């Protein structure tokens, strides 16, 4: 793009707030010097940090905000005192006004989603939003959605998620017709609950040019990279994501315990330390940090609240990729093909 990309940032979000977010912005600038930031936060905390990171200061506009949304606030509370005034709201609002291309926050997920819905509003024809996570697999990476925005999504909502997840896969993986699977407890047609079975039928019958529907997939297929996009309702998706994170940490703990137990094991560890470093890099949760809110009039990226500067930079990077690869245009294009198909308009056009 000719114009610089502008990423708006809720500097106050996350467990560590500005002390992680500003260094994270600095890291992104070292990789992508042309990016510009619109920063929102409490100037008493943010100004001194900008003085320590002059590169960020030069590349940013800064807006002081009186209000910070707490990490434990309920969405309703956050809206009551933070609507229009908080750093979170203002970071979203500039996306709505077209003054930034994407917003990134490490703040409270529920509040961020509630404010995003009210400020940006839903895309035409999409009933409910989804949060899409990027999942490391043995093949490469897959997209899993929804991981917690829409508990109890029905068949039509799951179908919407498939279309939006497909558009995101086209943006992220540069494939023309990404493969899609519906998460279920078996691969046979009669398995699972009514919503999943009905969504399977919708996907089979939809015949969308930009999607390759592969049927049901099971929990252990996600990490094998069986499909590009895994579609699921938010309750099961959130549990799958957190269970996978917990299992990876658990195996890491077993490995550390085993490698420090005997002298021979410790010697072996020294010989193989480059290999262990590769493994750590491969499993580093900071590398794939960031959930993408889909189904709204604008792109919002949610960073893990507890991440460090490296992790926050990954979330910024994800936002950068989504803008550079035209996520919103791809979603809108795919939705319009899908909705034309549903209305049968495609068949009656001259």
Contacting residues toward its own copies, per CB under 8 A: 74, 137-138, 148, 151-152, 183, 185, 188, 190, 192-193, 218-224, 232, 234-236, 238-255, 258-259, 261-262, 264-265, 267-276, 278-279, 282-283
Helix ranges restricted to H, 37-154: 43-52, 54-58, 75-82, 87-96, 109-120
- Pick the closer one to its own copies by CB: 101 or 307: 307
CB of 169 to its own copies, least distance (A): 20
Which residues have a Cβ under 8 Å from the Cβ of 230 and sit 6 or more positions away?
A: 135, 142, 143, 144, 145, 180, 181, 182, 183, 217, 221, 222
CB of 67 to its own copies, least distance (A): 22
CA quadruple 16, 22, 26, 31: dihedral sign:
positive
- Pick the closer one to its own copies by CB: 118 or 272: 272
Question: Strand order in 179-183's β-sheet?
Answer: 60-64, 36-41, 6-10, 102-105, 300-302, 291-294, 130-136, 141-145, 229-231, 179-183, 212-217
- Pick the closer one to its own copies by CB: 253 or 329: 253
In 3D space, the residue among 148, 107, 111 whose CA is nearest the CA of residue 128 turns out to be 148
Round to whole Å and give the CA distance between 115 and 300: 11
CB of 305 to its own copies, least distance (A): 13
CB of 303 to its own copies, least distance (A): 18
- Pick the closer one to its own copies by CB: 110 or 341: 110
- Pick the closer one to its own copies by CB: 33 or 252: 252
- Pick the closer one to its own copies by CB: 280 or 340: 280
- Pick the closer one to its own copies by CB: 250 or 336: 250
CB of 71 to its own copies, least distance (A): 12
In 3D space, the residue among 12, 16, 9 whose CA is nearest the CA of residue 308 turns out to be 16
CB of 98 to its own copies, least distance (A): 33
CA quadruple 55, 58, 61, 62: dihedral sign:
positive
CB of 329 to its own copies, least distance (A): 31
- Pick the closer one to its own copies by CB: 107 or 298: 107
C-alpha distances out from residue 140 to 222, 253, 322, 342, Å: 11, 24, 18, 33
CA quadruple 148, 154, 159, 160: dihedral sign:
negative
**Range list of β-strands (E), the chain:** 6-10, 36-41, 60-64, 102-105, 130-136, 141-145, 179-183, 212-217, 229-231, 291-294, 300-302
CB of 184 to its own copies, least distance (A): 8
């Amino acid at each position: 793009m000719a114009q610089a990309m502008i990423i708006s940032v809720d500097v106050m979000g996350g467990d560590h707030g500005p002390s992680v977010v500003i260094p994270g912005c600095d890291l992104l600038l070292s990789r992508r010097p042309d990016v510009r930031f619109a920063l929102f936060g409490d100037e008493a905390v943010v100004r001194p940090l900008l003085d320590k990171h002059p590169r960020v200061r030069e590349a940013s506009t800064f807006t002081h905000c009186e209000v910070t949304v707490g990490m434990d606030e309920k969405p309703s509370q956050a809206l009551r005192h933070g609507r229009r005034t908080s750093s979170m709201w203002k970071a979203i609002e500039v996306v709505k006004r077209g003054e930034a291309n994407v917003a990134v926050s490490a703040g409270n997920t529920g509040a961020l989603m509630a404010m995003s819905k009210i400020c940006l509003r839903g895309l035409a024809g999409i009933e409910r939003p989804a949060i899409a996570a990027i999942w490391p697999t043995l093949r490469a990476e897959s997209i899993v959605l929804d991981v917690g925005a829409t508990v109890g999504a029905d068949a039509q909502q799951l179908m919407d998620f498939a279309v939006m997840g497909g558009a995101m896969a086209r943006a992220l993986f540069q494939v023309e017709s990404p493969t899609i699977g519906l998460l279920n407890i078996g691969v046979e047609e009669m398995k699972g609950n009514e919503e999943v079975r009905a969504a399977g039928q919708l996907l089979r019958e939809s015949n969308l040019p930009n999607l390759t529907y592969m049927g049901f997939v099971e929990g252990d297929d996600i990490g094998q990279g069986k499909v590009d996009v895994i579609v699921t309702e938010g309750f099961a998706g959130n549990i799958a994501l957190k269970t996978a994170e917990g299992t990876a940490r658990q195996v890491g703990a077993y490995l550390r315990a085993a490698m420090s137990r005997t002298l021979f094991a410790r010697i072996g560890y020294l010989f193989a330390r480059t290999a262990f470093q590769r493994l750590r890099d491969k499993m580093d949760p900071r590398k794939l940090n960031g959930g993408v809110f889909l189904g709204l009039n604008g792109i919002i990226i949610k960073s893990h609240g507890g991440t460090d500067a490296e992790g926050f930079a990954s979330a910024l990077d994800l936002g950068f990729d989504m803008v550079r690869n035209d996520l919103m245009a791809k979603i809108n294009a795919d939705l319009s093909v899908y909705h034309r198909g549903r209305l049968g308009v495609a068949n009656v056009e001259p």
